[in-house]
Amino acid sequence: MVISHKGKMFPLGSTVSDAGVNFAVYAPNADKVCLCLFDGFGRCERDRIDMYSHEGGVWSVFVDSLKEGALYGYRADGPYSLSDGHFFNFNKLLLDPYAKDFSGEFTWSERHYCHLPVGEFNTLDNAIDMPKSKVVKAQLYTGTKPNIAWCDTFIYECHVKGATQLHPEIEKNQVGKFSALVQPAFLQHLKSLGVTAIELLPIHAFVSEQFLTTKGLQNYWGYNTLSFFVPHKAYCINGDINEFTTMVRQFHEHDIEVIIDVVYNHTAESGIDGPMLSFKGLNNNGYYRTLNSSESTYINDTGCGNTVNIDDPITLKLIMDSLRYWVEVMGVDGFRFDLATILGRTSEGFTSRHSFFQAILQDPILSSVKLIAEPWDVGPGGYQLGAFPPPWREWNDKYRDVVRRFWRGDGGTLPELAKRIHGSNDLFEHNQRGPLNSINFLTSHDGYSLADWTSFEHKHNEANGENNRDGHSENYSFNCGVEGATNNSEVNNLRIKMQLNALVTLFLSKGVPMIAAGTELNHSQLGNNNAYCQDNEVNWLDWSGQNMTHSLSQSISDLIKLRKQLSVFQHPFFVHADDERFSVEWLNKKMLPMSESDWHDEENKTLMYILADKLKSKAVMVILNADTEHLTISLPTSPFSSSWECMFTSEYAFDAKTLPISFCLTGQSAWVLVSNLEENTND
């Protein structure tokens, strides 16, 4: 016989004590909420216990003698009214929004839907197709965190499964799992590259959309969240969520931070016709944004069917509690927020003074971790690059696009390219942020790989089952003369060279550099620029064969080492004319300061700049030549010494270390030169 009593209304979720387990859930409009306890296999509902109502809409119950590991779910009864946005259906087993672990698998069936069709109440019980929430006794993370400064950060965006699924030096039972990422072979690879932070694509528990599973596809990326607290169980060898924390601890022991990509903008419950899994059956109007209409209509600023209503205080609390949990219990060092504009939206639109941003800023835990915004969504006024408040960093797609266009050979790109290389002061300086607020990248999980950027002029997404209609049509890409894979060595060499050119630009730009996993391996997605549903070799990194032959690993390692030697890239502020220590000078092909006509010459496809540190009497000159023609240039000698040392070039044929004052600048090449100033201006 189960013995229970009222219990406490906070904390929400399940809380273990020596006497038993307290359960608390928020369902303000429910008439009745029941706690459902299951057997150890999650198959039989052995007890159904009425919960007690508290002020403010919280329901609770304390179950005596219940232990950690118990499996449970909720059922909520109340009004069912489309016009009012109330979808209570006692036939649906609901996941605890605060569950820290699950047991069992999610299976798609018509039983998950609240109504079939719209308006017709669905009496089918879905418990058989639902995972069960699992009682966990959370322990605070005890590892030592690296706390790497932004100026020293180099981010490696990575998919848990795809990074190691084909790795020949990792045991078969570990490939594609959290534990594989910290096996010596992969760890050493990251260390040799110079990576300081691994940014994992969504690791919150997620499910594949039904429209994908019916086509035999899966949601590979993971942007379809089922829980804000539970690690994705498919990434655990034995379903043990502690494997995630073990992974984090081992990364920290090697001075690598862990950033996770989080999706707080929408959930897997989709639109009004989507499944009822958790939030929708507890407080639909509170958790999701809806329009005031005769029928409850979801606002879809995410393009995924629903939009999380962060204006609601309990929803805001849920997200804040989730973030703190991942820092304090799971040990992560920061977050990349998918479609982050959603998190700053009120009914009036986006505001940098949203309560979410203020809550983060005043929070002693969250204000000190790495916070990265994807600064856009698909709603009205959704593009907000540069509008986020300190201390947020932002993915800078303007940087990505102009670097791609410049190396593709587009005219008229120099003025914007210079701004992006300089750290995008036009975007970030207005609210007292610096160049390190810009996350600079060439490619990410979304879009072409860097190899495909130089191999395809047209997207090839046929495998996604949408007749190639999905994905962006303009990728600022080129194919070096042949569409797709080729055995032509001249074409392949040019492709590698152009990738190197772009990488030189990335690592010699002010801002925080990020690369997508596989960039260093010349990884191709076969021209698919929206490979979110390809759980196969399209996304899995190939650690053998041609990819390794054309590896860019050593070049990336050399460039990040070079960057770290140059003090100007540790400088947290923009370099302007009145800077006492640093200077930046933009030069034309005659080594004279760029004139207005030079900047706006559509045919000018060469950008050269010198960054000097007067305190250390050191200067670096970067030459980016996207023109196909060779050009003889004379290097400046004053106030520099009479020689420049070539630290890196994408030009294969060049092997000299010290450059002559006059030399041939080859077409489509990038160069990094270093020189000493003749005298220390601070002496």
> Which positions are catalytic?
338, 374
Structure tokens, 168: 């020949």
- The whole-angstrom separation of Cα 73 and Cα 250 is 34
CA-based torsion, 553, 556, 562, 564: positive or negative:
negative
Cis peptide upstream of residue 375 (ω within 30 degrees of 0):
no
- The whole-angstrom separation of Cα 582 and Cα 250 is 38
CA-based torsion, 498, 501, 503, 506: positive or negative:
negative
Write a three-state SS string for 289-353.
CEECCCCCEECCCCCCCCCECCCCHHHHHHHHHHHHHHHHCCCCCEEEECCHHHHHEECCEECCC
User: What does each C-alpha distance from 402 to 337, 441, 528 come to in angstroms?
Assistant: 23, 11, 21
**Crossing angle (nearest 10°) for helices 280-287 and 313-328:** 110
- The whole-angstrom separation of Cα 472 and Cα 451 is 17
User: What does each C-alpha distance from 70 to 37, 135, 215, 293, 659 come to in angstroms?
Assistant: 7, 5, 36, 42, 71
Residues 6+ apart with CB under 8 A from 599: 414, 415, 418
Q: Are 600 and 415 in contact (CB under 8 A)?
A: yes
End-to-end CA distance of the chain: 85
Count other C-beta atoms under 10 Å from residue 55's C-beta.
Answer: 6
- The whole-angstrom separation of Cα 302 and Cα 339 is 7
